[in-house]
Amino acid sequence: MNAFEFYKKSLQNTLGTDTQMSFFWKGRVALYAILKALDIGPGDEVVLPGYTCIVVPNAILYTGAKPVYCDIDPATFNADTASIVASITPNTKAIIIQNTYGLSSDVKEIVATARARGIITIEDCTHGFGATTDGQPNGTVADVSFFSTQWNKPFSTGIGGFSVTQDPVLADKIQGQWDQCVSPSFKESLMLRLLVFVRKWMVCDWNYWPMVRFYRLLSYSNIVLGSSQSSELEGITMPFGFMKKLSKAQAKQGVSSCEPIHKIIEKRRLVAKTYTDFLKSKSKNHVAQELHTEHGFLKYPLLVSNRESFMKAAASAKVRLGEWFLSPLHPIEGDLGKWGFDTQKCPNSVRAAKHMVNLPTDTAKVDRVLQFLEAQIDDIL
């Protein structure tokens, strides 16, 4: 078995299915390949949550199709069926549903609604690897799904992504898109290995944010390989060399990082339960208890009145908070008109983006986080 076959086998074992997969340089490339394989282009519409990462609408726009944003349910931070249905027009070709923070959308209901109308469902599982929807592994219910293995995702290969589908015809077409991708250069593979090494051995709690800022600065200037190039944050044209395959080094890294996922999620759930119990006892916003069993808790969402001061206080208390999503189309702040986003249509997304911070679920220092929350209790909504 070569590195890719081995990786595929590990993923299939974890997902508990023998689905077909194609391996790409990033999750967004997998999404683009899926859209192309579905023959989506000018004149077509793709419905997606108005609370996502900018690279998702970008992939749609690169095909010439139009992203149609729907609002989220404030209880789940996912697009609900009603707002999706309201966004469907005769031009709708596909619906993207997301596993926001590790919680899947109401996949079964949305898939059934879409199928009745001849519309394809694509699951954005970039936060949801290893968690479930109605007891089934995320990524195995919708027509086709994509995953990301970027730094901050459920498991990481530095950067990376893959598509999953049970439909053999579609799988072939996606693999056809993969055939058209370039292979990463020697320099790119080498740099990625270096970054994985730095991340593993040199980044710790006290230097996390300075290191992240330094890395972003370097990657936005295109000096080192980044999660996003500056052109992806500024415009809607595909950057040069976008269509790229996963490297062998990434596939090897993937095998060892994906296997412990269920244990990792178990730990995250325990931490999340502690947060929920605490927040509930203080009558503050929290993830509803009935959502806990299927939630992967990549992040624990918390709404605060003033994010800026809350983040500052966290930094001095040495609590590492996340900042997903700062904006309905993260991380773009300001005018989202270029991406066709209408703030009027998505009030819940806009509000969530304004007040959101994420509590760490991978920390061994839960007590420190709880102490911090106790001290900041008045700022928590």
Ligand X SMILES: *Cc1c(COP(=O)(O)O)cnc(C)c1O
Give residues in contact with ligand X (CB under 6 A): 26-28, 52-53, 55-56, 98, 124, 126-127, 148, 150, 161, 227
Q: Please, which residue, 31 or 380, has the CB nearer to ligand X? A: 31
Cβ distance to ligand X smaller for residue 152 or 376: 152
- Smallest distance, ligand X to C-beta of residue 77, A: 11
Nearer to ligand X, 26 or 173 (CB): 26
Tell the smallest beta-carbon distance from residue 260 to ligand X (Å). 20
Question: Token pair for residue 367?
Answer: 């007590």
Q: Cβ of residue 98: shortest distance to ligand X, in angstroms?
A: 6
CB of residue 27 vs ligand X: minimum separation in angstroms? 3
Side chain identity, residue 187 = K
Q: Distances from the Cα of 149 to the Cαs of 82, 146, 204, in angstroms?
A: 31, 10, 20
Nearest Cα neighbor of 371 from 295, 312, 313 is 313
> Rounded to the nearest whole angstrom, what is the least distance from the CB of residue 84 to ligand X in the complex?
16
Q: Which amino acid is at 51?
A: Y
Q: Strand, coil or helix: what is 114?
A: helix
Nearest to 320 by CA among 204, 198, 205: 205
Q: 126 or 132, CB closer to ligand X?
A: 126
Nearer to ligand X, 48 or 170 (CB): 48
* CA distance linking residue 179 with residue 3, whole number of Å: 17
Can you tell me the distance from the alpha carbon of 38 to that of 34, in angstroms, rounded to the nearest whole number?
6
Question: In what helix (H) or strand (E) does residue 293 lie, and over which residues does it extend?
Answer: none
- Measured from the CB atom, the residue of 145 and 227 that comes closer to ligand X is 227
At 299, give phi and psi (nearest 5°).
-135, 155
What's at 65, amino acid-wise? A
CB of 161 vs ligand X, minimal distance in Å: 4
357 in helix, strand or coil?
A: strand
- As a dihedral over the C-alpha atoms of residue 325, residue 296, residue 76, residue 96, rounded to 10 degrees, the angle is 70
The residue (of 215 and 372) whose beta carbon lies closer to ligand X is 215
Q: What is the DSSP string of 45-56?
A: EEEEESSEETHH
CA distance 308 to 224: 28
H helix or E strand, kind and range, residue 129 = none
Structure tokens at 82: 């009603």
Q: To the nearest whole angstrom, how small is the minimum distance from the Cβ of residue 90 to ligand X?
A: 27
Nearer to ligand X among residue 161 and residue 254 (C-beta) = 161
From residue 51, how far is each of 32, 98, 124, 355 by CA, in Å?
19, 9, 12, 13
Comparison of 219 and 343: residue with beta carbon closer to ligand X? 219
User: Smallest distance from the beta carbon of 58 to ligand X, in angstroms?
Assistant: 9
Q: How far is CA 59 from CA 27, 66, 154, 255, in A?
A: 10, 10, 22, 27
Shortest distance (Å) from residue 339 CB to ligand X: 14
